[in-house]
Structure 1
Amino acid sequence: MAALEGAGCIFCAILRGEAEASIPYADDRVMVIMDIGPITPGHLLVIPRVHAVGLEDLDEATSAHVWRIGHRMGRALRRSGLRCEGVNIFLADGEAAFQEVFHFHLHVVPRFEGDTLRIAANWDTRQRSLLDREADAVRSGLTALGLSEMERE
């Protein structure tokens, strides 16, 4: 599958071989590159070869492959000799979610005691009534996608 044109997209330029990247893995659907501004040494980005801005633009089969390769890269990091006591796999979908490069990509970040990554959030327990209402809203979204029943593989 060839990379689609993403005007001004650095990841598309990398996929076309027009920009430099350090590439530990590539196949016909994805390329894995080292993040140029890593959170920790070994920080990887799994990039589909098709230009898709976010989840809404990427087909499920390609998305599943991105996550499959992300899983493999996490396992590879643990065996790499790089400092890796844990792994975060992170997707930033949209500007509000801290997406900076608008070409779908999955971060695979090796973690270790004392690294600098922190996730600050309100971790308070939500009331069941609010959780139930939010679950209803998600089910409504599934219905809008044509997935009203839970799918089983």
Structure 2
Amino acid sequence: MTDCIFCKIIAGEIPSTTIYEDEKVKAFLDISQATKGHTLVIPKKHIANIFEYDEKLAADVFARIPKIARAIKASDPKIQGMNIVNNNGEVAYQTVFHSHIHLIPRYNNEDGFSMTFQDNTEKNTPESLQEIGANISEKIED
């Protein structure tokens, strides 16, 4: 896709700081650097989001995440953890519509990065959770 910024990065039309690349994926530093070492891992095949992955592409991309994450962690002894984030769709804060996984090193609770998960425990019952789970389970395709 010629107007995709990530496809242009893969093609070498836009410079990037590549930290890993093979025939299936490219990993490069996010220009925004939410924290030092913030890396994006992208499939070289243009797909918009997680909903377009098949099993083979998912295996190719996600199998590489741990070794890239370990390399990032090993690069700085101050790294204490890592958020792995994948936004899918505009409502989920996806801004570049070429699938990408953020590897965001965490240094401490004051490193400037945050995520918030709302606690909706009081809004659910065991029965409503069973109903939600059953609805999802019946949609899983083999």
- Displacement after TM superposition at 1:39 (Å): 0.9
User: Which segments of 5 or more consecutive residues in structure 1 lack a partner in the other structure?
Assistant: 1-5, 148-153
Is residue 2:26 matched to residue 1:34?
Answer: no
Overall identity of the aligned pairs, in %: 32
User: Which segments of 5 or more consecutive residues in structure 2 lack a partner in the other structure?
Assistant: none
Task: Give distance in 2, aligned partners of 1:15 and 1:59.
Answer: 21
Match of 1:151 in 2: none
- Superposition map of 1:1-80 within 5 A: 6-80=1-75
Task: Give distance in 1, aligned partners of 2:13 and 2:130.
Answer: 49
Moved over 4 A (4+): none
Taking structure 1 as reference, are residues 40 and 82 closer, same or farther at Cα in structure 2, changes over 3 Å only? Answer: farther
Task: Give distance in 2, aligned partners of 1:109 and 1:82.
Answer: 15
- Superposition map of 1:89-128 within 5 A: 89-113=84-108, 114-125=110-121, 126-128=124-126
Which one has more relative contact order, counting CA pairs under 8 Å at least 6 apart? 2
Q: Deviations over 1:101-151 (max 9, x none)?
A: 000011111002111222223224232112111111111211xx2x3xxxx
Count residues with an aligned counterpart.
Answer: 139
The answer to whether the 8 Å contact 2:85/2:102 transfers is yes
What is the CA RMSD across the aligned residues, in angstroms? Answer: 1.4
- Displacement after TM superposition at 1:82 (Å): 6.0
- Displacement after TM superposition at 1:88 (Å): 0.9
Task: Give distance in 1, aligned partners of 2:104 and 2:60.
Answer: 18
